[in-house]
Chains A and B, each alone.
Chain A
Amino acid sequence: MREITFSQALNEALREEMIRDEKVFLMGEDIGLHGGAFGVTKNLVKEFGSERVRNSPLSEAGIAGIAVGAALLDMKPVVEFMFIDFTTIAMDQIINQAAKIRYMTGGQAKVPAVFRTQGGGGTGSAAQHSQSLENLFCYIPGLMVVMPSTPYNAKGLLKSSIRNPNPVVFIEHKLLYSKKGDVPEEEYLLPLGKANLMKKGRDITFISYSRMVHVALDAADQLAQEGIDVEVIDLQTLSPIDKETIFQSVQKTGKCLTIEEDCKSSGFGAEVAASIGEECFDYLDAPVRRIAAADVPVPFAASLESEALPDVDRIIRTTKMMNS
């Protein structure tokens, strides 16, 4: 199988869906000739023209609203917000409009829009360009939240998100764009709302998503050398969450560690831990524990940033403690 990067995989997903369905159009800041801040829309304007790959002014609220309006008229807009931090400017349209319209209209209208953006830290971009805000969107009924971890699932999940008739917030991690991986030449789709069992194991379940999946896998490799057999789940979709896969794994291993890059307090792992506590308590051999970022704005200095974000060492230490 050929190897391509995460950005190339996303680019292919957009291109294939634009060829397949003329209702699909892209809108965002610098997505034209510039190809987007992370190169995901590279060359698409040459192929599809500036009406379907619409370079927009710096107007996040406006372009989110345009996506909503166009989606109401049966189009399939895919909006790019350059950084997830900038989605905060567009929150009315995402939270009050896109997410609510179907419910408020009693099912008359639908909003098949994809809000693509990226998140996460690790690049020294400081507090306004490094956030992990996925939980804001998971909290909102009516939104689907997807966070791929590899070129393979990035492509399959983005294609499914574009075809999905609901509003989808699709969050890519900025450190994953250059990551390479196997992606088939032939077309495939991956279902939304389904987690992926990345590695089977019997001693403890790691639940993770996005870039942290790779950190979790690295930790699992090292732990294997010490005789701890870790099961690793990549959630892929955070909302709706695939509880079935989580519960099956926890019932098998009896232990669970959530690994996420957002802040720990009220972070996504809290939801996972609480669900396991509510519905799987009898199977637990230890309390669910959480590895997450420190409850601070992401700092600039490398030493501070790496201290704030989760890493392999912390995962290993916590796992050993849980297994002792």
Chain B
Amino acid sequence: MAWNIISALVENKPGVLFRVSNMFRARNFNIESLSVGPTEQSDLSRITVTVDSDEHVTEQMVKQLRKLIDVVDVTRLQVSDTVYRELALIKLKAVDPSSRMEIINLANVFRGKIVDVSKSTIMVEITGTPDKIDAFKSLVEHYGVIQLARTGVSALPRGVLYE
């Protein structure tokens, strides 16, 4: 098993995300994260999928994706040659001033941002590789995670003319 990033350019129109996710479900492929959003071309969206899978299964995912009529292009991104990021919002319990300070310090170390503070909670926005987000989460878990939202990975290959 290996961690893989698959990037697909798809038609930006209704029903496409359903077709893609339905294919993953029907073929019994397990996906770890999936993110969708617009691209530089208004009629195309990019779907980024991360999976933990065998080589053979990953190849099948790519081929089955390519087979979908609405999928215009599929690339398997080389992890070492790719910039990939995820954004997480983490709302933590922070009632006493000392834990509040500790969380702010940890967030700084991770280049996170404090985006919301209430009497009893503090919300951190953190961007980075999924590993970095996992690491931050494990460091702050003991304060009490009230809510957590992650976007899934967005990725682009490094370099300028490569696609």
Q: Do A and B bind?
A: no
Q: Which residue numbers of A lie inside 8 Å of B, CB to CB?
A: none
